[in-house]
Amino acid sequence: MNSLHSTSHSVHVLKFISQFRSTPKFCILKRNVTSNLENYGSNHFSNSTASTSIKAARDGVDTAVVVEEEGPKLRKFQVFEGHPVPFGATVRDGGVNFAIFSANAVSATLCLISLSDLPENTVTEQFFLDPLTNKTGDVWHVHLKGDFKDMLYGYKFGGSFSPEEGHYYDPSQIVLDPYAKAVISRGDFGVFGSDDNCWPQMACMIPTADDKFDWEGDSLLKYPQRDLIIYEMHVRGFTQHESSRTEFPGTYLGVVEKLDHLKELGVNCIELMPCHEFNELEYYSYNSVLGDYKVNFWGYSPVNYFSPMTRYSSAGTRNCGHDAINEFKLLVREAHKRGIEVFMDVVFNHTAEGNERGPILSFKGVDNSVYYMLAPKGEFYNYSGCGNTFNCNHPVVRQFILDCLRYWVIEMHVDGFRFDLASIMTRSSSLWDAVNVFGSPIEGDLVTTGTPLGSPPLIEMMSNDPILRDVKLIAEAWDAGGLYQVGMFPHWHIWSEWNGKYRDIVRQVIKGTDGFSGAFAECLCGSPDLYQERGRKPWNSINFVCAHDGFTLADLVTYNEKHNLANGEDNNDGENHNNSWNCGQGVPMIHMGDEYGHTKGGNNNTYCHDNYINYFWWDKKEESSSDFFRFCRLMTKFRHECESLGSNDFPTAERLQWHGHAPGTPDWSETSRFVAFTLIDSVKREIYIAFNASYLPVIITLPERPAYRWEPLVDTAKPAPFEFLSCDLPERDTAMKQYSHFLEANLYPMLSYSSIILVLLPVDNA
């Protein structure tokens, strides 16, 4: 380092400069010399860069150092002491304030990198921060004024590189600011960086005063959760298939072009699979089975939590990521215009940095022992199954998570979040104790790292936060370490859960397994066995049968076993217990593509396929054989119309009656495969619903309702389009006559493996 002035002279020089702060010609020159990166799997910037050591006065006067590059590009920066809050890069006082937490680093350097220098692994400008003037507590900070056009930033931290102590400081390597609002590296999905690098250098967007977006009066929709029908979607997969015929396939704008499809389907909420910045080339490798390459398609491996995935935008790295942010905002705004809420699937359980053999990208190089859950000798706990575990209940980390979620709600207008492996957020942090968490000791309070907590500080803070308590919070209430909390997740009457038990029970019933009729009845009521006693509601249960990780709905009833050979792992990956069979009340959730019967060929773990396996096939949806889409559309419409199916409370005997083959005689025996019930509805009067999961047909007797008659609406045993007898169906009257001799006797024939819905109408409506 070539320092142009000593510490003892700094204050005197700065005070002298302050007297001439209105004279821009006075500057301290800085010579910037860089060398090329030597790539050993990570990106390192050499230490041959000569830079000015920056020290700002602390006496309260408006002081600054002006630094200038030599050479053809003249960039002048005024450098101020800066402020420790807020974290990240923030436009203020005519410049940009940079602040970052690092308790264990002994030195910090702010690096500015131009867009043109980034692929060359070259630092354009760097500022060595003085721990006396540019550090408050454990926060490093500096304030710059100057020309930031096409400029990015990152940090270098010095300190101990001692994995056994939990530290990974490498002053030759630039790391990302955890609070960066956009991350820039490669511009196009699946395309290598320079020198065919899967992990090219990344850098952070610098905000500008011109960052504006016209929300056109948009605000959160704030639907009651009981009224939601959730659609799980992958942004790229939704429109990347050539049959989508979109102008911007595989992007946020591509989704915007197809929002009317979702409106037609009747969903009023989309749950976006991970859209935080991740590296799809993370485990890029040749797949000999399909003859293509495996990528991280799903995105459950975040690099940065504040940044939208830039390669999901049509803009890519254009305008240093500002345009990518605006494309995401456009998606949210246009979804809201169509009455569709937007949820994000967030992964606060681990990051892409893996264990001790993983790359140093951000958190690991900023303060590894703070951000990750570590054992006493520095080993990474692996409750995520992905190499590391985010240290969620550490005071700094939980504040980071809170700040991040607030940002997505306030700045991006996101309506809710689904938390991947949310049970990790209930585990105690490294060195968890009462002083660490609450600021004061408690006698006898000693909790082992990773212990599940009854009142996790992070969950409590989120649940009582004035911003977050007004959005939907959904937990995947388990983790890879064996913690399973479905029905028991700490909730503060705010949280909902992916109801994995609902999924498993419904699948058992569909395949005709004995002994599940009673459990299935509980599921139909919103799982009161899980939620009622703890003061929760039916809408706290997110009911799904299929999701991204598992069989599609079509494959669920087509394949007995998984067929994952296309993943190139000899069929060893993916869940073996699928509860599937080749048999040809809560908040419902459906997965993208199930509305037309999408198949993945029996593959239940398609995380690595950027191809037709994961793409939505728009041509299939349009084919006449996709009558299933019509059925799904009409079913969602019926679900919205029925007040009783979205009730705020669990049904009671006053409105719910169970039946068997005869009225009022339900069969809860181990061999029963038939469940039926009637439900009083303020809109439909009363509805009759029955499920026959037996391989035998049955003729059922319907409940007597004097002066009323039962009219068939749905019978899944009928061929399309007669499985749903909508009012506008041609030949509907002819189809109804086929039932007449049964209905006149108050009977109805049910075929095997079928379900029916009948509605109650006055006799004079015949």
Q: Please give the helix or strand (H or E) that residue 741 lies within, else none.
A: helix 740-743
Give the span between the Cα atoms of 712 and 737, in whole angstroms.
11
Q: Catalogue the active-site residues.
A: 420, 476
For residues 346-359, one letter each, b for 16 or more C-beta atoms within 10 angstroms of the residue's C-beta and e for the rest, the string is bbbbbbbbbbbebb
Give the span between the Cα atoms of 447 and 453, in whole angstroms.
9
SS3 content of the chain, % helix, strand, coil (to 5): 25, 20, 55
DSSP string computed for 664-716? T----STT--EEEEEEEETTTEEEEEEEE-SSS-EEEEPPP-TTEEEEEEEET
Compute the Cα dihedral for 578, 229, 649, 754 and give only its sign: negative
Ramachandran category for residue 431: left, alpha or beta (phi over 0 → left; psi -120 to 50 → alpha): left
Give the CA distances from residue 628 to residues 143, 271, 622, 634, 722, in Å, rounded to whole numbers and listed in that order: 59, 22, 11, 10, 11
Evaluate whether 693 touches 700 at the Cβ level (below 8 Å).
no
What three-state secondary structure class fits 560?
A: coil
Neighbouring-strand partners of residue 536: none
Compute the Cα dihedral for 74, 80, 84, 85 and give only its sign: negative
Which residues, 6 or more positions from 174, have their beta carbon under 8 angstroms from its beta carbon? Answer: 43, 45, 111, 113, 123, 154, 155, 156, 201, 203
Give the span between the Cα atoms of 661 and 667, in whole angstroms.
8
| First-last CA distance in the chain | 92
Ramachandran category for residue 479: left, alpha or beta (phi over 0 → left; psi -120 to 50 → alpha): beta
Give the CA distances from residue 751 to residues 516, 692, 695, 696, 737, in Å, rounded to whole numbers and listed in that order: 20, 7, 8, 7, 18
CA 754 to chain centre: 35
Which residues, 6 or more positions from 276, have their beta carbon under 8 angstroms from its beta carbon? Answer: 299, 302, 303, 304, 305, 306, 307, 308, 309, 346, 347
Give 86's DSSP letter.
S
Give the span between the Cα atoms of 253 and 287, in whole angstroms.
30
Q: What length does the chain have?
A: 766
What three-state secondary structure class fits 302?
A: strand
Give the span between the Cα atoms of 57 and 132, in whole angstroms.
10
